[in-house]
Structure 1
Amino acid sequence: MASFLSSALTSVALFLALTSSLVAADFDVYYYGVM
């Protein structure tokens, strides 16, 4: 059970990191496109 929880937390953390990096990249492109 503990290993399942730790692997689930790891995949959630990786998903959040990927999502935030994609959002940051989109924001940079939009910001520089407007400026």
Structure 2
Amino acid sequence: MTNYNPRYARHYSLEGFGEAAQEKLSAAKVLVIG
């Protein structure tokens, strides 16, 4: 993921949070009911 959104640049500074984790996060879906 070489073209990542600068909005998520801080994620890469977290230990253990690299490109693979960012890919998983961007592919995740959330359902909020309430």
Q: What is the TM-score normalised by the length of structure 1?
A: 0.29
Relative to its length, the structure with more helix (as a share) is 1
State which structure, 1 or 2, has the greater radius of gyration over its C-alpha atoms. 1
Q: What is the TM-score normalised by the length of structure 2?
A: 0.29
Higher relative contact order (CA 8 A, sep 6+): 2
